[in-house]
Amino acid sequence: MKKLFFLFFFFAFALHGSVLTLQKGVSTPVEQSISYFEDVQGTLTLEQVKREPFTPYTKERRVNFGFTQSVYWFKINLLTSSSQDTHWWMKIDYPLLESVDMYLLQSDTLLIKHQKMGTSQPFNSRDIGSHYFISELPLYNSSDSTLYLRVKTQSSMQLPISIFSSENLMQELEQSNFFVGVYYGIFFIVLLYNAVLFIYTMDKNYLRYILFLVSFILWQLSFDGLGIKYIWGDNYWFIEHGSSAFIPFTAFCALYFSRYFLNTPIYAPKVDKAIIIMMFLSIFMSIASLFLHYAQMIPLNAALASILPVVLLIAGLRVMRHEYRAARFYVAGWSSFLIATIIFAFNKFDLIPSFYGINNVQQIGSAIEMIFLSLALADRVYLLQREYIEKLNHLNDTLRDKVESALNEARLKDRLFVQQSRLAAMGEMIEQIAHQWRQPLHTLALINQDMYVKQKLGKCDAKAFEESHERIDEHLQYLSKTIDDFRNFYKTDKSKSFEDLGELAAEALKLSDVFLKYAKIKTYLDVSTILKVNIAKNEMIQVLMNLIKNAHDAILEQRITDGKISIRVEEVEKGIKISVEDNAGGIAPDIIEKVFDIYFTTKDHEHGSGLGLHMSKYIIEESFRGQIWVENILGGARFIIVLPFEEIQTLVS
């Protein structure tokens, strides 16, 4: 009786169109039983549509109408022959559909279920938390039913629809999830692999490739519907604009990476110009996608995605001609992606028929491409490493001679530099000796003239002669001591000994006394420590005299009438600190960082060599392992020297 009942309805439906017979455990192609109606205005209701003639879908491929602004209604007549305890599910394997209204009617009259699906609906409203659109079909008490689907989308009008029993659906989802897991697992491994290589090599090409990889993953998550499920959720603005922006941004990242990886400016300059133009175009389209509708941008994005692999493939082929081995993997990768992209894009425009796995063809191509690009980068690293090893071996053959030559040259430069600095200082010292001797010599000349006149006048008695002799002897002793002071300063002995910095500062002031008095500059010395430091005495005096002379010149240059130079020696946390301050108004901010540079001077070449402060820094930091710097203070500048405690504790112990 049941068989007769089933046959009756089967032939009844056959009079009105194809019938999809649902049998448990049997997979029946839905496309052979589906009919459609195009609602151009998109205003018809279900009751109105039921009265319209539906056209059977006769193409032997999955339902695809390309890009269209029309609303499409689809109709499927269902006939169940299995037991009533079987659960049936409808699955639409295209996550980009914006709006899907499902109507399930019994005998084409009684509404059993109405459900809204699509990216415009909240994700948690779906019957199953899948990135596909899956809805339960309650066919328990009905052997004949009619399924209506109202589909509106800004993407390609496709309807890869299947109807499964619960058991078959579970198998389908397991296979799908396995494929998704393997696909994104490959991306994760490739991403991790290249991140490790970037950390190891610090090659920016890996960073550019990682950027391309991340942008492509985001685009693929958007296309697969997994982005809605796991990342941006029900953010409709992101679904509407972000998804279409990922395509041109991914194109930009691919072009950016390829341009530097292939070095197209050198190996393929003509193609490089096309790449630059496409980079600007991609950025423009990415920005435009944030403001324009998805329907306006997706055809342009699809065209860009189709052209991109062609341009990059041509670039790879051009570079291959220069025997760049890594380009072979690059070409292989983009070739696979190009084939997959062309198939995918042509399917979107309904230029080629749909087939099983058509929606995953670009995923397969992209996975192969990413693997080949990673191999290309790895091969590039291998070539660079081999080249580096060869260069290293070559350098090792001559390294000893080069190092010895460099050391000898450095020692020579060091000796010449010290000699040049000392000669510059010696010139200043000779001038100071001349100042020191000028007054005593003048006095000796007066005493001599006085003795001569008295002798001629007969007034040079024994007492007057004795007084003149004592005065001449006093000045001669002064001249002799001056020579000794400067001779000791110019001794080349650099052996270190423990010295009192207060005494060295006093001696430096004494040697500078003539030009300081001549400029009417007052000096102050404040010493608050008795600790001694293990240093070379003459070198330390030279440093202090350089700082004193520098302060003297600054005071004269600024025409300070009451010039002052203060030297302070004190103990601080890090060691012994020597400060040399002046009241010359300070150093201009734009040159304060340059005062220690060699040959840098604000004086003319006749009065400044630019060696004094640089030599002082060299002595303090290289010979004494200390620090020296300068800072502006209120009304002037302060040079600070800090000598470390390591050189002091030896004496204390």
How many CB atoms within 10 Å of residue 340? Answer: 21
| CATH of segment(s) 2-172 | 2.60.40.2380
At 419-478, the pLDDT tens digits run 666 666 666 566 656 655 655 676 677 677 777 777 777 777 777 777 777 777 766 776
Q: Is residue 315 within 8 Å of 271, Cβ to Cβ?
A: yes
pLDDT in tens, 560-618: 889 999 999 999 888 899 999 999 999 988 888 888 887 777 765 455 556 678 878 88
The architecture of the domain spanning 176-383 is Up-down Bundle (1.20)
pLDDT, one tens digit per residue, over 45-90 is 998 998 889 988 877 566 778 778 889 999 988 887 655 567 888 8
Q: Could you check whether 176-383 and 493-652 share the same CATH topology?
A: no
Report DSSP state, residue 175.
H
Q: Residue 54 is encoded by which pair of tokens?
A: 């539906």
Q: Are 134 and 169 in contact (CB under 8 A)?
A: yes
Does domain 493-652 fall under CATH 3.30.70.141? My reply is no
Nearest in space to 18 (alpha carbons), one of 77, 75, 58: 77
Cα 531 to Cα 575: distance, rounded to the nearest angstrom: 10
- Higher-pLDDT residue of 27 and 261 is 261
| Domain ranges within the chain, ordered by starting residue | 2-172, 176-383, 493-652
pLDDT for residue 2: 42
Phi/psi region, residue 593 (left: phi>0; alpha: psi -120 to 50; beta: rest), is alpha
Instruction: Report DSSP letters for 407-466, one per residue.
Output: HHHHHHHHHHHHHHHHHHHHHHHHHHHHHHHHHHHHHHHHHHHHHHHHHHHT---HHHHH
CA 122 to chain CA mean position, Å: 37
Q: What is the mean pLDDT of residues 328-348?
A: 67
Joined tokens for residue 2: 């049941």
Distant-in-sequence contacts of 274-283, Cβ < 8 A, 24+ apart? 274/311, 275/311, 275/312, 275/315, 278/251, 278/304, 278/307, 278/308, 278/311, 279/252, 279/255, 281/248, 282/248, 282/249, 282/251, 282/252, 282/255, 283/248, 283/249, 283/252
pLDDT category of residue 163 using cuts at 50, 70 and 90: confident
Q: Are 135 and 102 in contact (CB under 8 A)?
A: yes
Task: Report the C-alpha gap between 304 and 311 in whole angstroms.
Answer: 10
Name which residue leads in pLDDT, 592 or 399. Answer: 592
Q: How confident is the model at residue 347 (pLDDT cuts 50, 70, 90)?
A: low
Question: What letter would DSSP give residue 290?
Answer: T
Q: Which DSSP helix (H) or strand (E) runs through 532?
A: strand 532-535
8 Å CB contact between 300 and 255: no
Count other Cβ atoms within 10 Å, centred on residue 177. Answer: 12
Average pLDDT over residues 505-519: 80
DSSP-derived 3-state class of residue 578? strand
Instruction: Give the pLDDT confidence score for residue 576 in this predicted structure.
Output: 92
* Distances from the Cα of 635 to the Cα of 231, 343, 542, 587, angstroms: 62, 78, 26, 10
Sign of the alpha-carbon torsion through 106, 110, 111, 112 = negative
**How far apart are the C-alpha atoms of 578 and 502, rounded to whole Å?**
9
